Amino acid sequence: MPFVVPRSAELPPATWAAYGLTTLTVLPLVARRQAPVTVLLAVLAAGALYRFMVDGPGQPLPYTGLVAFYTVAELSVPRRRLAVAVLVLAAVFPSVAWNTGEARELLFSLFVFAAAYAFGRLTRTRKEYIRAVEDRTRQLEVTRQVEAERAAARERARIAREMHDVLSHAVSLMIVQAEAGPVAVRTAPERAEAAFDAISETGRDAMVQLRRMLGVLREDASEDTPSPRAPQPSPADLPALLERVRSGGLEVVYTVTGRPGAVPAATGATVYRIVQEALTNVVRHARATCVTVELAHGPGDVTVTVTDDGAGPGATAGLAAGAATGTGADATTGMGLMGIRERAAAHGGTAVAGAGPGGRGFQVLVALPLVTSGEGVGS
C-alpha cells in the first residue's frame, strides 16, 4: 500500500530498494514444498536484511515467514521440524526487542507463529487421514474383486457339477440302452422297443434339466421372456431315477429306513444328485448286475448308501489315475467322486467311497446333517 497510497510527510518514502527486498521475501515461497527449511531461512534472512539495511515502509506482520513456517510444520521430519521451531522461537524475542519491546507484541508474535505451526500439523494429519481412507478404499475394492472372483469360481464349480451329473448320468444310460437294443431286436423285440423308449425319455429329461440350467445362466433374460424354471430334484424323485436305471437292465433295490422327516430343499437336492452320480459310476464302470440304494433317516441326519456287486475299487482305480493325469479311457472318472465329496462337504457332511461289505463290489456312503440354515452352498 505505501506504493499506492502516499504516506505522511514525516514517514520515510517508499523506495525501489525497499520494494526489491520485500519481493525477495516472497519469491522463495515458490519452492517452499521442495525445500521448506531452506525457504524459511531465506525468508527470515530477507526480512532481517530489510529491517537492518532499508529504512522504508514495511508491514510489521511477517506473512511470508508464517507461510514458510507453516510449510515446515507440515512437511518436515520431526527432528528437523522441532529444531526449526526452537530457532524461530529464539528469533522472536530479539525481533520484538528490536522493534517495540512490548509484551503485547511478544505475545502476539508467539501466538501467530504457534498458530502457523498448529495449522501445519493439522494439515499433515488431515492429509494422512485422507490417504489412509483412500488406501482402505482401494484395499476394500481389491478384496471385493477377489471375493467376486472366488464367488464366480465357486459358481462355475457348482454348474460344472450339475452339468456333469445330468449329462454323465443321461448319456451313460443312453449308451447302455443303445448297446442292448440290437441284441434285444434279435432276441426279444418287445424289450428293444422298451429300450428305445427309455433312451428317448432319458434324453428328454436331460434336455429339460439342461434348459433349466442354461436358462439360469442367460444374461439377457427379462420379465417378458422368463427362463424356463423347474423345482430342484428331491428324494421323492428317486423312484423315477431308479426306474430309468432299471430300464437299462441293471437290478436296483431301493430301501428307506428310519422315520422320514422334513428334509431341507438343498439337502434333498444333494441326496438326489449323490445317488444319481453313484448310479452313473455303477452303470459306466462297475460291471455290476445289482445295486442297492438305501436312504436312512436319523434324528439329525440322513445317510445315503449305494452298494453294487461289481468289480470293486480295482475297476475304477486305473481310470481315476487317468483322471489325475488327463489320460486313460475316461479322464472324468475322478470328477464324479470328487463332486460327491464336495456336495457332502458343502452341507457339513462326510463321504466315503471304497470296497463294499466283505471286500466285494463298491460302496459310496454319505452322511448329511439336517441343517436348515446356512446351507445350500454348492448344492
Residue with cell 451313460: 172
pLDDT for 112 beyond 50: yes
Q: What is the mean pLDDT of residues 116-124?
A: 94
The pTM of the full predicted model, rounded to 2 decimals, is 0.48
- Per the model's pLDDT, the better-predicted residue between 55 and 38 turns out to be 38
Domain assignment of residue 117, given as a range: 16-137
pLDDT for 331 beyond 90: no
pLDDT for 373 beyond 50: no
- Determine the residue type at 81: R
Same domain? 177 vs 298:
yes
Same domain? 162 vs 117:
no
DSSP helix/strand/coil, 367? strand
Q: What is the mean pLDDT of residues 49-67?
A: 71
Average pLDDT over all residues of the chain: 78
- Determine the residue type at 186: R
Q: Which helix (H) or strand (E) holds 305?
A: strand 301-308
Is residue 11 assigned to a domain?
Answer: no
Q: What is the mean pLDDT of residues 4-21?
A: 74
Is residue 230 assigned to a domain?
Answer: no
Are the C-beta atoms of residues 23 and 16 closer than 8 Å to each other? no
Comparing CA positions, the residue from 161, 165, 196 lying closest to residue 179 is 196
Same domain? 101 vs 244:
no
The winner for highest mean pLDDT among 118-132, 147-161, 197-211, 318-332 is 118-132
Residue with cell 446351507: 375
Same domain? 253 vs 309:
yes
Q: What is the mean pLDDT of residues 150-156?
A: 81
Q: Parallel, antiparallel, or unpaired for β 290-297 and 251-258?
A: parallel
Residue 18 to residue 54: CA distance in whole angstroms: 6
Q: Could you give phi then psi for residue 329, rounded to 5 degrees?
A: -70, -30
Q: Would you state the pLDDT for residue 230?
A: 55
Q: What is the mean pLDDT of residues 319-330?
A: 36
pLDDT for 157 beyond 80: no
Is residue 121 assigned to a domain?
Answer: yes
Are the C-beta atoms of residues 244 and 272 closer than 8 Å to each other? no
Same domain? 60 vs 87:
yes
Residue 113 to residue 43: CA distance in whole angstroms: 14
Residue with cell 433317516: 297
- Percent of the chain beyond pLDDT 90? 23
Of 74, 102, 137, which closes a domain? 137
Q: Would you state the pLDDT for residue 335?
A: 64
Of 111, 137, 163, which closes a domain? 137
pLDDT for 80 beyond 80: yes
- Per the model's pLDDT, the better-predicted residue between 41 and 259 turns out to be 41
Q: Would you state the pLDDT for residue 130?
A: 94
Q: What is the mean pLDDT of residues 31-43?
A: 91
pLDDT for 327 beyond 70: no
Same domain? 196 vs 286:
yes
pLDDT for 185 beyond 60: yes
Q: What is the mean pLDDT of residues 21-31?
A: 85
Is residue 310 assigned to a domain?
Answer: yes
Q: In sequence order, what are the residues at sequence separation of 6 or more whose Cβ sits closer than 8 angstroms to the Cβ of residue 365?
A: 303, 304, 305, 351, 352, 353
Same domain? 247 vs 363:
yes
Q: Can you give the CATH number for the domain in which 332 is found? A: 3.30.565.10
Same domain? 249 vs 267:
yes
Q: Parallel, antiparallel, or unpaired for β 350-355 and 301-308?
A: unpaired
Same domain? 151 vs 127:
no
Q: What is the mean pLDDT of residues 225-232?
A: 56
DSSP helix/strand/coil, 364? strand
Q: What is the mean pLDDT of residues 230-250?
A: 81
Total domain count, the chain: 2
The C-alpha cell that represents 75 in the structure block: 512437511
Is residue 374 assigned to a domain?
Answer: no
What is the arrangement of strands in the sheet containing 290-297, beginning at the earlier edge strand?
251-258, 290-297, 301-308, 362-369, 350-355
Q: Could you give phi then psi for residue 103, rounded to 5 degrees?
A: -65, -30
pLDDT band at 50 (very low <50, low <70, confident <90, very high): confident
Same domain? 149 vs 101:
no
What does the pLDDT look like over 81-110, one tens digit per residue? 899 999 888 888 888 887 778 888 889 889
pLDDT band at 377 (very low <50, low <70, confident <90, very high): very low
The C-alpha cell that represents 313 in the structure block: 475299487
pLDDT for 323 beyond 50: no
Same domain? 160 vs 74:
no
The winner for highest mean pLDDT among 84-98, 186-200, 205-219, 322-336 is 84-98
Of 105, 137, 169, which closes a domain? 137
Residue 255 to residue 360: CA distance in whole angstroms: 20
Same domain? 292 vs 338:
yes
pLDDT band at 218 (very low <50, low <70, confident <90, very high): low
The C-alpha cell that represents 289 in the structure block: 448286475
Are the C-beta atoms of residues 74 and 31 closer than 8 Å to each other? no
